[in-house]
Amino acid sequence: AKSAGGNRFELADPEADARAITRHGLTTALPAALDRGEFFIEYQPLVHLGDGSVRGAEALVRWLHPQHGVLGPDRFIPLAEHTGLIVPLGRWVLEESIRQAREWRERYGAADPLRINVNLSPCQLTHPGLVQDTVDILERAGVAPDALCLEVTESALIGADDDLLKPLRRLAEMGVDIALDDFGTGYSNLANLRRLPVSVLKLDRSFTQSMQQFPADPVDLKIVEGIVSLAHSLDLAVTVEGVETGAQAEQLRILGCDTAQGWYYARPGPPERLHDLALVDATG
Protein backbone atom coordinates (compact mmCIF):
# COMPACT_ATOMS: atom_id res chain seq x y z
CA ALA A 1 0.00 0.00 0.00
CA LYS A 2 1.15 3.53 -0.64
CA SER A 3 2.02 5.75 2.26
CA ALA A 4 0.11 8.86 3.26
CA GLY A 5 0.09 11.94 1.08
CA GLY A 6 -1.63 12.76 -2.15
CA ASN A 7 -5.35 13.11 -1.73
CA ARG A 8 -6.25 14.46 1.67
CA PHE A 9 -9.85 15.05 2.53
CA GLU A 10 -10.35 17.90 4.90
CA LEU A 11 -14.00 17.45 5.81
CA ALA A 12 -14.82 17.61 9.50
CA ASP A 13 -11.17 18.08 10.32
CA PRO A 14 -10.65 20.30 13.35
CA GLU A 15 -7.24 21.30 12.04
CA ALA A 16 -8.56 22.20 8.61
CA ASP A 17 -9.15 25.86 9.45
CA ALA A 18 -5.69 26.26 10.91
CA ARG A 19 -4.19 24.63 7.86
CA ALA A 20 -6.18 26.83 5.53
CA ILE A 21 -4.92 29.90 7.38
CA THR A 22 -1.37 28.64 7.17
CA ARG A 23 -1.84 27.91 3.52
CA HIS A 24 -3.09 31.40 2.91
CA GLY A 25 -0.29 32.86 5.00
CA LEU A 26 2.33 30.84 3.16
CA THR A 27 0.90 31.77 -0.21
CA THR A 28 1.04 35.49 0.47
CA ALA A 29 4.53 35.19 1.97
CA LEU A 30 6.02 33.42 -1.06
CA PRO A 31 7.07 36.39 -3.22
CA ALA A 32 8.86 38.17 -0.36
CA ALA A 33 10.50 34.89 0.64
CA LEU A 34 12.02 34.64 -2.81
CA ASP A 35 13.26 38.25 -2.60
CA ARG A 36 14.72 37.68 0.84
CA GLY A 37 16.51 34.50 -0.16
CA GLU A 38 14.65 32.17 2.22
CA PHE A 39 14.79 29.23 -0.20
CA PHE A 40 17.68 26.83 -0.30
CA ILE A 41 18.51 23.64 -2.12
CA GLU A 42 19.47 20.23 -0.81
CA TYR A 43 21.20 17.77 -3.09
CA GLN A 44 20.69 14.03 -3.15
CA PRO A 45 23.31 11.93 -4.95
CA LEU A 46 22.52 9.77 -7.95
CA VAL A 47 24.58 6.62 -7.77
CA HIS A 48 25.56 4.24 -10.56
CA LEU A 49 24.21 0.81 -9.56
CA GLY A 50 26.96 -1.06 -11.39
CA ASP A 51 30.00 0.47 -9.68
CA GLY A 52 28.55 2.59 -6.87
CA SER A 53 30.05 5.83 -8.15
CA VAL A 54 28.29 9.15 -7.62
CA ARG A 55 27.22 10.46 -11.02
CA GLY A 56 25.27 13.54 -10.06
CA ALA A 57 22.57 14.86 -7.78
CA GLU A 58 18.95 15.92 -7.75
CA ALA A 59 18.24 19.46 -6.57
CA LEU A 60 15.39 19.56 -4.02
CA VAL A 61 14.17 22.95 -2.88
CA ARG A 62 13.33 23.88 0.76
CA TRP A 63 12.02 27.01 2.42
CA LEU A 64 13.57 28.26 5.63
CA HIS A 65 10.50 30.05 6.92
CA PRO A 66 11.20 32.60 9.67
CA GLN A 67 8.32 31.28 11.83
CA HIS A 68 7.67 27.71 10.71
CA GLY A 69 11.26 26.53 10.21
CA VAL A 70 12.26 24.36 7.26
CA LEU A 71 9.33 23.53 4.99
CA GLY A 72 9.49 20.74 2.40
CA PRO A 73 8.46 21.31 -1.20
CA ASP A 74 5.17 19.48 -0.76
CA ARG A 75 4.11 22.34 1.55
CA PHE A 76 4.75 25.20 -0.87
CA ILE A 77 5.32 24.02 -4.46
CA PRO A 78 1.56 23.49 -5.02
CA LEU A 79 0.94 27.02 -3.68
CA ALA A 80 3.65 28.46 -5.92
CA GLU A 81 2.16 26.64 -8.89
CA HIS A 82 -1.25 28.01 -8.07
CA THR A 83 -0.06 31.63 -7.96
CA GLY A 84 2.46 31.44 -10.79
CA LEU A 85 5.39 32.12 -8.49
CA ILE A 86 6.73 28.74 -9.53
CA VAL A 87 8.13 30.37 -12.68
CA PRO A 88 10.58 32.74 -10.92
CA LEU A 89 11.15 30.21 -8.12
CA GLY A 90 11.88 27.44 -10.62
CA ARG A 91 14.23 29.76 -12.50
CA TRP A 92 16.06 30.48 -9.25
CA VAL A 93 16.38 26.74 -8.51
CA LEU A 94 17.78 26.17 -11.99
CA GLU A 95 20.24 29.05 -11.68
CA GLU A 96 21.43 28.11 -8.21
CA SER A 97 21.84 24.41 -8.94
CA ILE A 98 23.70 25.07 -12.19
CA ARG A 99 26.01 27.41 -10.33
CA GLN A 100 26.55 24.53 -7.93
CA ALA A 101 27.25 22.14 -10.82
CA ARG A 102 29.96 24.49 -12.05
CA GLU A 103 31.50 24.56 -8.60
CA TRP A 104 31.57 20.74 -8.54
CA ARG A 105 33.17 20.73 -11.96
CA GLU A 106 35.84 23.14 -10.79
CA ARG A 107 36.60 20.82 -7.90
CA TYR A 108 36.76 17.58 -9.87
CA GLY A 109 37.95 18.78 -13.26
CA ALA A 110 36.10 18.60 -16.53
CA ALA A 111 36.77 14.91 -17.20
CA ASP A 112 33.82 13.47 -15.35
CA PRO A 113 31.56 16.29 -14.23
CA LEU A 114 28.79 15.67 -11.75
CA ARG A 115 25.46 16.11 -13.44
CA ILE A 116 22.57 18.05 -11.98
CA ASN A 117 18.90 17.03 -12.03
CA VAL A 118 16.30 19.77 -11.64
CA ASN A 119 12.53 19.33 -11.30
CA LEU A 120 10.28 21.24 -13.69
CA SER A 121 6.68 21.87 -12.81
CA PRO A 122 4.02 21.74 -15.54
CA CYS A 123 3.57 25.55 -15.33
CA GLN A 124 7.22 26.03 -16.22
CA LEU A 125 6.75 23.77 -19.24
CA THR A 126 4.07 26.00 -20.68
CA HIS A 127 5.93 29.21 -19.86
CA PRO A 128 7.29 30.70 -23.10
CA GLY A 129 10.64 31.70 -21.54
CA LEU A 130 11.73 28.19 -20.57
CA VAL A 131 14.16 27.44 -23.39
CA GLN A 132 15.76 30.89 -23.49
CA ASP A 133 16.05 31.10 -19.69
CA THR A 134 17.73 27.71 -19.60
CA VAL A 135 20.14 28.59 -22.41
CA ASP A 136 21.02 31.90 -20.72
CA ILE A 137 21.57 30.30 -17.32
CA LEU A 138 23.83 27.59 -18.76
CA GLU A 139 25.82 30.10 -20.80
CA ARG A 140 26.29 32.52 -17.95
CA ALA A 141 27.57 29.71 -15.75
CA GLY A 142 29.69 28.21 -18.50
CA VAL A 143 28.08 24.80 -17.97
CA ALA A 144 27.46 22.47 -20.92
CA PRO A 145 23.84 21.48 -21.56
CA ASP A 146 24.65 17.79 -21.16
CA ALA A 147 25.45 18.37 -17.49
CA LEU A 148 21.76 19.15 -16.94
CA CYS A 149 18.81 16.80 -16.64
CA LEU A 150 15.32 18.26 -16.33
CA GLU A 151 12.78 16.04 -14.56
CA VAL A 152 9.19 16.24 -15.73
CA THR A 153 6.48 14.08 -14.21
CA GLU A 154 4.80 11.48 -16.31
CA SER A 155 1.41 13.02 -15.50
CA ALA A 156 2.50 16.41 -16.89
CA LEU A 157 3.17 14.82 -20.26
CA ILE A 158 0.13 12.57 -20.53
CA GLY A 159 -1.74 13.53 -23.65
CA ALA A 160 0.84 16.27 -24.29
CA ASP A 161 0.43 17.84 -27.70
CA ASP A 162 3.23 19.08 -29.92
CA ASP A 163 3.11 22.64 -28.52
CA LEU A 164 3.92 21.32 -25.07
CA LEU A 165 6.64 19.01 -26.34
CA LYS A 166 8.35 21.57 -28.57
CA PRO A 167 10.38 23.32 -25.83
CA LEU A 168 11.42 19.96 -24.41
CA ARG A 169 12.50 18.81 -27.88
CA ARG A 170 14.59 21.94 -28.33
CA LEU A 171 16.27 21.42 -24.98
CA ALA A 172 16.87 17.75 -25.79
CA GLU A 173 18.42 18.70 -29.14
CA MET A 174 20.81 21.02 -27.29
CA GLY A 175 21.93 18.08 -25.19
CA VAL A 176 19.85 18.58 -22.05
CA ASP A 177 18.55 15.25 -20.75
CA ILE A 178 14.85 15.00 -20.04
CA ALA A 179 13.75 12.50 -17.40
CA LEU A 180 10.23 11.19 -16.98
CA ASP A 181 9.73 11.44 -13.20
CA ASP A 182 7.48 9.24 -11.06
CA PHE A 183 7.23 6.81 -13.95
CA GLY A 184 4.68 4.05 -13.55
CA THR A 185 2.14 6.10 -11.62
CA GLY A 186 0.52 7.89 -14.52
CA TYR A 187 -0.90 5.02 -16.60
CA SER A 188 0.70 6.42 -19.71
CA ASN A 189 0.76 4.36 -22.82
CA LEU A 190 4.16 2.73 -22.99
CA ALA A 191 4.15 2.98 -26.77
CA ASN A 192 3.78 6.73 -26.30
CA LEU A 193 7.27 6.89 -24.87
CA ARG A 194 8.74 6.86 -28.34
CA ARG A 195 7.05 10.16 -29.07
CA LEU A 196 8.47 11.94 -26.01
CA PRO A 197 11.90 13.59 -26.08
CA VAL A 198 13.01 11.77 -22.93
CA SER A 199 16.26 9.93 -22.32
CA VAL A 200 15.73 8.79 -18.73
CA LEU A 201 12.91 7.00 -16.94
CA LYS A 202 12.72 7.59 -13.20
CA LEU A 203 10.88 4.63 -11.79
CA ASP A 204 8.51 5.68 -9.04
CA ARG A 205 9.29 4.87 -5.42
CA SER A 206 6.31 2.51 -5.22
CA PHE A 207 8.25 -0.02 -7.31
CA THR A 208 11.27 0.27 -5.06
CA GLN A 209 9.04 -0.24 -2.03
CA SER A 210 7.75 -3.50 -3.45
CA MET A 211 11.36 -4.76 -3.53
CA GLN A 212 11.49 -4.44 0.25
CA GLN A 213 10.32 -7.97 0.97
CA PHE A 214 12.40 -10.97 0.12
CA PRO A 215 11.52 -12.61 -2.10
CA ALA A 216 9.86 -9.66 -3.80
CA ASP A 217 6.40 -10.03 -5.31
CA PRO A 218 6.99 -11.97 -8.55
CA VAL A 219 4.51 -9.83 -10.46
CA ASP A 220 6.30 -6.62 -9.40
CA LEU A 221 9.59 -8.17 -10.46
CA LYS A 222 8.15 -8.97 -13.87
CA ILE A 223 6.76 -5.46 -14.26
CA VAL A 224 10.06 -3.79 -13.41
CA GLU A 225 11.93 -6.25 -15.62
CA GLY A 226 9.56 -5.42 -18.47
CA ILE A 227 9.87 -1.65 -17.99
CA VAL A 228 13.67 -1.86 -17.88
CA SER A 229 13.92 -3.94 -21.02
CA LEU A 230 11.48 -1.70 -22.87
CA ALA A 231 13.35 1.40 -21.70
CA HIS A 232 16.70 0.00 -22.79
CA SER A 233 15.33 -1.05 -26.16
CA LEU A 234 14.29 2.60 -26.62
CA ASP A 235 17.75 3.78 -25.51
CA LEU A 236 16.47 5.21 -22.24
CA ALA A 237 18.39 4.95 -18.99
CA VAL A 238 16.49 3.80 -15.90
CA THR A 239 16.89 5.56 -12.55
CA VAL A 240 15.19 4.23 -9.42
CA GLU A 241 14.26 6.42 -6.51
CA GLY A 242 13.51 5.72 -2.86
CA VAL A 243 16.18 3.03 -2.40
CA GLU A 244 16.37 2.59 1.37
CA THR A 245 18.14 -0.76 1.79
CA GLY A 246 21.06 -2.64 0.28
CA ALA A 247 18.70 -5.50 -0.60
CA GLN A 248 16.58 -3.17 -2.72
CA ALA A 249 19.66 -1.79 -4.43
CA GLU A 250 20.92 -5.30 -5.22
CA GLN A 251 17.54 -6.44 -6.53
CA LEU A 252 17.19 -3.37 -8.75
CA ARG A 253 20.74 -3.77 -10.02
CA ILE A 254 20.00 -7.39 -10.98
CA LEU A 255 16.85 -6.21 -12.77
CA GLY A 256 19.06 -3.98 -14.92
CA CYS A 257 18.34 -0.52 -13.52
CA ASP A 258 21.17 1.92 -14.22
CA THR A 259 21.16 4.57 -11.49
CA ALA A 260 19.71 4.80 -8.00
CA GLN A 261 18.81 7.42 -5.47
CA GLY A 262 17.63 7.07 -1.90
CA TRP A 263 18.34 7.14 1.80
CA TYR A 264 20.45 3.97 1.52
CA TYR A 265 23.09 6.12 -0.21
CA ALA A 266 22.34 9.51 1.29
CA ARG A 267 19.50 11.74 2.34
CA PRO A 268 19.21 15.08 0.57
CA GLY A 269 21.77 17.40 2.13
CA PRO A 270 23.92 20.51 1.71
CA PRO A 271 26.19 20.68 -1.35
CA GLU A 272 29.36 20.10 0.70
CA ARG A 273 28.10 16.64 1.59
CA LEU A 274 28.17 15.75 -2.09
CA HIS A 275 31.78 16.92 -2.26
CA ASP A 276 32.62 14.46 0.50
CA LEU A 277 30.66 11.56 -1.01
CA ALA A 278 32.12 12.06 -4.48
CA LEU A 279 35.62 12.55 -3.09
CA VAL A 280 35.50 9.36 -1.05
CA ASP A 281 34.24 7.72 -4.19
CA ALA A 282 36.99 9.14 -6.41
CA THR A 283 39.80 8.18 -4.06
CA GLY A 284 38.33 4.75 -3.26
Residue 142 is which amino acid? Answer: G
Q: Residue 104 or residue 183: which is nearer to ligand C2E going by CB?
A: 183
Q: Would you count residue 241 as binding ligand C2E (CB under 6 A)?
A: yes
Dihedral sign of CA atoms 250, 253, 255, 257 in order? positive
Interaction residues for ligand C2E, span 86-115 (CB under 6 A):
90, 93
Among Ca ion, ligand C2E, none, residue 177 binds (CB under 5-8 Å by kind): none
What CA–CA distance (Å, rounded) separates 205 from 214? 17
Region of 1-9, 135-143, 146-154, 218-226 interacting with Ca ion (CB under 5 A): 146-154
What b-and-e string marks burial along 20-41, b requiring 16 or more CB atoms within 10 Å of the CB? Answer: eeeeeebbebbeebbeeebbeb
Q: How far is the CB of 206 from ligand C2E (least distance, A)?
A: 11
Q: Would you count residue 129 as binding ligand C2E (CB under 6 A)?
A: no
Q: Would you count residue 262 as binding ligand C2E (CB under 6 A)?
A: yes
User: What torsion do the CA atoms of 47, 240, 114, 126 make, to the nearest 10 degrees?
Assistant: -170
**Neighbouring-strand partners of residue 116:** 57, 148
Mask for 263-282, x = binds ligand C2E (CB under 6 A): x----x--------------
100, 143 in Cβ contact below 8 A? Answer: no
Residues that bind ligand C2E (CB under 6 A): 44, 60-61, 72-74, 77, 90, 93, 119, 121, 181-182, 241-244, 261-263, 268
